[in-house]
Amino acid sequence: MISPPTIYDVAAEAGVSISTVSRALNSPGRVSAQTLRKVLDAVDTLGFTPKPDAVAKARRGVGRIGVIAPHTSYPSVARRLNGILSAVGPRPLEVVLFDHESAAESDSPLLASLPVTGRLDGLIVISIPLDEAVAGRLTGLGLPTVLLDVRHPGFDAVHTDDAAGGRLAAGHLLDRGHHRFGFLGEAQTSDRYVSPSRRRLEGYRRALADAGHPLREEDVRLVRHRAREVLAAAHDLLSRPGRPTAVFAADDTLAAGVLRAARDLGLAVPRDVAVIGFDDGELAEVIDLTTVRQPLEDSGRAAMERLVQQLGHRTTARDVALELELIVRGTT
C-alpha cells in the first residue's frame, strides 16, 4: 500500500524547507507569491491533503490581521482604522476587529488577554497598553505586532506626543493674550497607566506654569466621555466667578461640549471664551473649532505598513513618532 504524501514530500517537490511549506499553508501572507505558487503546485502534483482549510487559505493567499481597540468608544479610532484599511489596499489580507473597553474607563486598563478565536498572522493594538504577561505571550508566539497610540519595550509603536499637543494649545492661547485658563479632559478609573488626556493636561499645565500662569485645580474638570457629564462639567467650569477665558479640551467631542455650554450661558466665542480641541476630525471642521491635529489616518497607515514589513521578515522594533499640528479656526 502506497503511503499518502507528507509535508516532507511537498517540501522536496517544491524545493523549499518544511517550515516554508507550513508558512505557505497556514500564514500565506508571510511568503512570497512565487514561493506560494511552488508549494501549491507541489500540493497538486502529489495530491497532498493538509488540514481541511489550509490549502483554501493558501489559494486565497489571505493573511488574517487582528485589530484590538476601543472601537465603539472614540471617533478617532475609526479614523485610525480607515488608515489601516487604506494601507491594506490590494494586499491579500483580511482584517478582523476585536472591540475592547476604553482603558480610561476600565478598572483593569491593560490588555490582559488575546483573541482565542481564529488564526491571526499579525496584530495591531490601538490605545490599549499591554500587560506584561500578554507582552511576554506575544513575544513567545512570535506574532508580528504593532502598537498604535501606546508603547511597550520591544514592540514596534506608532504614536504622537500628547504632552507636546498640550504645549501647542497653551502657546496659542498665551499668544492670544489670555491669563485665565481651563481644561476639560477624560477621567481615568485606574492609575495603572497614564491616559492621553492626562498627558495632554501635563503638557498644557507645564507650558502655562513656565509662562507664569499656573493652571488652578478648580479650573480643571475630568469627566467620563458621556454627553450629559461633559455638558455638566463645562457648565460648571464656565459659570463660576473668575471663570477661564480660554479652555483646552482633551478631544474635539469634549470641546464641542464646552462650546454648547458657552452658548447656553450666553458667552460669545471667542470673545468671552476661547476653545481648543484635539484630534481635528470632521466635527472640528464642521463647528469651526481650533484644534490640535493628530495624523490619525496616517498613523493607521504607518502601523499597517510596519506590520507588513514584519510579516515579510522579522525586524528590529522601531518607534515611529508622528508630528502634531495646530489648526487655527474660529474658536480662538
CATH of the domain at 36: 1.10.260.40
Sorted by sequence, the CB contacts under 8 Å of residue 90 that are 6+ apart come out as none
Which CATH number belongs to the domain containing residue 303 in this structure?
3.40.50.2300
Statement to judge: residues 196 and 288 lie in one domain: yes
Same domain, 155 and 300: yes
179 neighbors 167 (Cβ within 8 angstroms): no
The pairing of beta strand 274-279 with beta strand 290-293: parallel
Q: Which of 60, 78, 101 is the last residue of a domain?
A: 60
For residues 69 and 115, state if they share a domain.
yes
- What's the confidence (pLDDT) of residue 226? 92
Q: Is residue 122 part of a domain?
A: yes
Tally the domains of the chain: 3
Are residues 78 and 196 both part of a single domain?
no
Q: Which helix (H) or strand (E) holds 259?
A: helix 252-264
154 in the Ramachandran plot: left (φ > 0), alpha (ψ -120 to 50) or beta?
left
- Does any domain span residue 332? no
Q: Are residues 156 and 203 in the same domain?
A: no
Whether residue 34 is found in the same domain as residue 68: no
Q: Do 170 and 231 fall into the same domain? A: yes
Name the pairing type of β-strands 93-99 and 63-69.
parallel
Evaluate whether residue 330 is within a structural domain: no
Residue 147 has phi, psi (to 5 degrees) of -100, 140
Domain match, 144 and 122 both:
yes
Distance CA 86, CA 93 (A): 12
Please list the residues that pair with 142 across neighbouring strands. Answer: none
pLDDT value, residue 57: 60
Look up residue 224 and give its three cell numbers. Answer: 467620563
Q: Is 194 inside a domain boundary?
A: yes
Q: Are residues 18 and 89 in the same domain?
A: no
> Do 54 and 202 reside in the same domain of the chain?
no
Per-residue pLDDT of the chain (332 residues; tens, 9 = 90+): 567 788 888 889 999 988 888 877 777 767 787 887 788 888 778 877 666 556 556 655 567 899 999 998 888 999 999 999 999 988 888 898 988 888 887 777 777 777 655 578 899 999 999 988 888 888 888 889 999 999 999 999 999 999 999 999 999 999 999 999 999 999 998 888 899 999 999 999 999 999 999 999 999 999 999 999 999 999 999 999 999 999 999 999 999 999 999 999 999 999 999 999 999 989 999 999 999 999 999 999 999 999 998 887 767 788 999 999 999 999 99
Is cis: bond before 270, omega within 30 of 0?
Answer: yes
The pLDDT value recorded for residue 180 is 97
Q: Give the pLDDT of residue 237.
A: 97
Q: Distance between CA 79 and CA 297 in Å, rounded?
A: 6
Predicted pLDDT of residue 56? 57
Domain boundary among 41, 60, 79: 60
Question: Would residue 179 count as lying in a domain?
Answer: yes
d(CA 243, CA 192): 32
Give CA torsion, residues 281, 283, 285, 288, to 10 deg.
Answer: -130
The neighbour count for residue 179, using CB atoms within 10 Å, is: 13
pLDDT of 38: 86
Do residues 194 and 288 both lie within one domain? yes
Query: For residues 326 and 19, what is the distance between their CA atoms, to the nearest angstrom?
Result: 50
Using DSSP bridges, classify how beta strands 181-186 and 156-159 pair: parallel, antiparallel or unpaired: unpaired
Residue 302 lies in a domain: yes
Q: What is the pLDDT of residue 58?
A: 60
Instruction: Identify the helix (H) or strand (E) that includes residue 241.
Output: none
The residue range of the domain holding 311 is 63-160+296-322
Kindly state the cell numbers that stand for 34: 512565487
1 within a domain of the structure (yes/no): no
pLDDT of residue 312: 76
Look at residues 25, 43, 60 and tell me which one is the last residue of a structural domain: 60
* Domain assignment present for 138: yes
Expressed in percent and rounded to 5, the helix, strand and coil fractions of the chain are: 45, 20, 40
pLDDT of residue 161: 97
Residue 190: the pLDDT is 83
Q: Is residue 231 located within the same domain as residue 270?
A: yes
